[in-house]
A = this chain, B = another copy of it.
Amino acid sequence: MKFCNQCGASVEQRVPEGDNRPRHVCTACGTIHYSNPRIIAGCLPVYDNRVLLCRRAIEPRLGYWTLPAGFMENGESTEDAARRETLEEACTEVNIQSLYTLTSIVHVNQVQLIYLADMPTPDYGPSEESLEVRLFEEHEIPWDALAFETIRQVLRLYFEDRKQQQFPLRHVEINNNAFNTARVHD
């Protein structure tokens, strides 16, 4: 950030009065420009014991498989966002069951919320955002062609928890490239 989006003057990095960390502050009008983590909301859609994955039609990770998920927009709830992303990316309408994972992706300032969701019917398909959409049995999951480490973690936890048929909320924390230090707790 170089310029104030309110008045167009240049901004500087400094700690505003009453604050304890540097912000972008306008040198002319004094507006403080905060930057905060963004929410990614999505679903783990299930039909007949199979999981729905999408093969990405857009960068990053074009051609790799992922769960339907994307940035939450203003003016919607987290569940609205998860359902909307699932409809946009997989062309399927789901019934949300419960929040399953909350992943803090610390190094990129994102919080990912994945909801467990039932598919009432096996209707789904590709979209502008997905080259291909498919239901996978556990043994068919393309582990080596998944788009994101966060999605790998969600799927790994899901198949573990499915043995007990219990899906408590899982907190995951991923910081920097230390994916193997991801911390998981109930």
By size class, the interface of chain A is: 35 or more
Q: Is A151 part of the contact surface with B, judged by Cβ < 8 Å? A: no
B4, B35, B76: the one contacting A3 at CB < 8 Å is B4
- Which of the candidate stretches A36-44, A61-69, A133-141, A155-163 sits at the interface with the other chain? A36-44
Nearest-Cβ distance from residue A76 to partner chain B, whole angstroms: 7
- Which of the candidate stretches A47-55, A97-105, A118-126, A142-150 sits at the interface with the other chain? A97-105
Residues of A whose CB lies within 8 Å of any CB of B are 1-8, 10-11, 18, 21, 24, 33-39, 58, 71-80, 98-99, 102, 104, 106-107, 109, 111, 128, 169, 171, 173, 186
B-side contacts of A24, CB under 8 Å: 5
B21, B98, B111: the one contacting A39 at CB < 8 Å is B111
B-side contacts of A10, CB under 8 Å: 8
Nearest-Cβ distance from residue A69 to partner chain B, whole angstroms: 14
Bound: A7/B107 CA distance, A: 26
Whether B36 lies near A71 (C-beta < 8 A) is yes
Whether B5 lies near A33 (C-beta < 8 A) is yes
Bound: A105/B2 CA distance, A: 31
Whether B74 lies near A109 (C-beta < 8 A) is yes
